[in-house]
Structure 1
C-alpha cells in the first residue's frame, strides 16, 4: 500500500491542483446538458409522448429505449467483469474492482433516468410493481430484478470502500446472480415476442449476456485510462497488467459476438423467412446499412479487436481509443437491435395497398436531448466518483 501511495500521491493534483477549474467547468457543462435534457423530458410529459416523441403505435420503442438497453447492458457487463476478480478470486482482475463496481452503479442509474422519461406514467410502474405484481410479465421481472441488482451493487461498493472485501465478495455474488437473471430476462423481453420475427428465439438472452461482458470490457479499459488521465496519476504495473487481462478477455468476446452475428444473419437470410429476411436486408444494404457496417461492425467489433491484436494488449492508450470506438459502436448496435426489430410490418407479405415496406421512425429533438442527458449524467457521476473516492485506488485490494 505504501509503495502504491508513493507512486500515486506525489502526482495528485489532476483534480485539486491547477486543473480544478477545468474539472469544475466540465462538471458544469455536463450538468447544464443534463438539466436541459430533464426539462425536455418533463415537457414531453405535459404535452404528451405522442406529440414529443417520434414513436408510433407501429414502432412503440425508440431511441430512448435503445439508450436504456445500452446503459443496463453496460452495467451488467461491468458487474460481471469486476466479479471475476473480487468474487471468483482471479488475482489479475482484482485491481479493477472498485471503479468498475462504481461505474456499474452509475450506468444503471443513468439508464433508469432515461427510461423514466420514456415511460408515459413512470410513477404507476413503481406503485403497481409492488401492489399488483404480474409474475407472468417479463417486464415486471425486469424491473424487479434490476432493482435488486442495484441494491446489491450499492452494498457491494460500500463494503469495498470500507475494505471489507470478503463481505463485498459475498454481496457481489448476489449482484452477479441478480444481474444475470435481470439481463437474461431483458433478452427474453425481446426474444419471447412471437410477433417480431427478428427478435424471436432463444438466442436473445444468451446474446445479451455475452455482449454485456464485451461492453463491460470496453468500458473498464476506457474509463480506467480516462480516470488516471483526469487525476494526473501514473498507473501502477499491477493495474496495467489487470487491464491487459481485461483486453484479452475482450478480444475473445469480440470474436464470440462476431460468431453470433454471422450465424444470426445466416439463419435470418436462409430460406427467406418472412419478417426476418427483410429486417436483415435493411441492415445489409437498406436504410440501416451505414449503421451496421460502420457502427456495429467497424467501430463496435473490428477496430477494437484489431487494435488489441496489433498492440498485443500492451499499449493502454491505443486500447483506450479502441474501447471508445467500441462503446460508440455498441450504442449503435443497441439502437439497431431495438429499431430494426419493429420496422417490418406484420402483414408485409400480403402486399396490402398503402402498407409501407418499412415503417418510418426518426428520433425527435426531445428524444435526443433526454438520451444526451443520460450520457452527461453518467459523466457527472464518473467525474464526481474520481474526486469523492480518490480515484478508486484499488491496487491495495
Structure 2
C-alpha cells in the first residue's frame, strides 16, 4: 500500500542538484573528449590503464548488487518488515547500474561496438565477458520485476521467480566482476580466489547505505515516516547494517595487515596505500558509521560516511593494484604516479548525478514507497 512521503523538499533538491550535475558533467566531458579524445584521461597502456571511470563503474555496479540483496530480504526471503523499502531498492538498483555503465561507456569510447563484438567474438573463458552478460540479463530481469511490483504484483509465482532470477544473476555478475580482478596473477594486490566474495560483501554494505540514505531523504526525518518504515529504520535495518559493516571492517583490516606483512613482489604497493591520508579517512568514516548505526542515530549521516568510505576503498583497490609496473626494472624505480584528469572527475560527477537524479525522479513519479497490502 502506498503512503504519502513528506520529504518532497529534500527529494526536489536532490533532483535539481542531480540535473545540474548531469548538465555540467556532460558539457565538460563531451567538450574534452571531442577535442582531445582518449588523451582527456590520465591513463595509458604503459601505466594505469583502468582509471577513475572504472572505479566509478565498480562502485556503482556493486552498489546495484547490494541494493538487490537488500530488496531480496523481503521479496525473496520473506521478511515482510522490509517490504516498505523493497520497491525503492529495486528501482535504485537499476539506476545505479545505469550510472556505472554510463561512466564505463564514456571511458570505452565506442561502447556500441559490443553489440556485434560480443556475440561474434565472445571470449567464453573471460570473466569480463560473463560479467557483461550477467549484468545485461539482470537489467532486463530487474525492469521486469519493477514493472510487476509497480503494477501491484508482489507475490505471484511469476513475480517471485523473476525476483529470484534477478537476485541470482546479480550475484553472479558481482562475482564475475570480482573474478575479473581476482584472476589477474600479474597484479598481486588484486589476485586471490576470495576477491569475488569480498566484492559481494562490500556490495551489501554500499547497497545498505544507499537504501538507508534515500529512505531518510524520502520522508525528511523519522517523525514523518509511517510506522512500518520507522520501526524498520529504528530496528532491524540499522542492526543488520551494523553487523555487516563490522564484519567488512574486519576483512579490510585483515587484507591490509596481510598486504603489509607479505614480502611478495608487487604487494609493496600496500605501503603506499596505507601511507596515504585517504586510507585513514576511509577507516575513520567506516568505523564512525559503525558506531552511529549501533546507536541507531544519525542514520543518514552514517550512510553518507559508508558511501564515502567505500568509494575510497574502490579507488584504492582499482588504482592501487596498478601502481606497480608490470615489467619493473631499474628504469622504473618507483610506483607509477596517477592523478585523475578533469574529464575523469566529471565522469564521477556524471555517475553520482545519474544515481541521485534517477532516484529522485522515481520518487516523484513511481510511488517508490509502495508496499503490498497484506
Report the counterpart of residue 298 of structure 1 in structure 2: 284
TM-score, scaled to structure 1: 0.87
Alpha-carbon contact 1:85-1:97 (below 8 Å) kept: yes
1:303-362 Cα offsets, whole Å, 9 max, x none, are 1101112x2x3x4xx1111111111111111111110000012344x4x13x14110111
Report the counterpart of residue 180 of structure 2 in structure 1: 189
Inter-CA distance 390–92: structure 2 relative to 1 (3 Å threshold)? closer
Aligned pairs (5 A) from 1:163-312: 163-166=152-155, 167-229=158-220, 234-243=224-233, 244-276=235-267, 278-285=268-275, 289-295=276-282, 297-299=283-285, 301-309=286-294, 311=295
1:129-148 Cα offsets, whole Å, 9 max, x none, are 22322111211111111001
1:338-387 Cα offsets, whole Å, 9 max, x none, are 10000012344x4x13x141101111111111220111121111111111
Report the counterpart of residue 393 of structure 1 in structure 2: 370
Q: Relative contact order: is structure 1 or structure 2 higher (C-alpha 8 Å, sep ≥ 6)?
A: 2
Report the counterpart of residue 326 of structure 2 in structure 1: 346
1:185-221 Cα offsets, whole Å, 9 max, x none, are 0000100011100000112101001111111111111
Moved more, 177-186 or 254-263: 254-263
RMSD (Å) for aligned C-alpha atoms = 2.2
Q: CA deviation at 1:252?
A: 1.2
1:34-55 Cα offsets, whole Å, 9 max, x none, are 1332234434543454410111
Q: CA deviation at 1:238?
A: 1.3
Question: How far, CA to CA, are the matches of 2:128 and 2:76 in structure 1?
Answer: 28
> What SS does structure 2 have at the residue aligned with 1:165?
coil
Report the counterpart of residue 42 of structure 1 in structure 2: 30
TM-score, scaled to structure 2: 0.92
Q: CA deviation at 1:394?
A: 2.3
Report how many residues are paired. Answer: 370
Which stretches in structure 1 are left out of the alignment for 5+ residues? none
Which stretches in structure 2 are left out of the alignment for 5+ residues? none
**Residue 333 of structure 1: which of 283, 303, 313 is its match?**
313
Q: CA deviation at 1:126?
A: 2.7
Report the counterpart of residue 90 of structure 1 in structure 2: 79
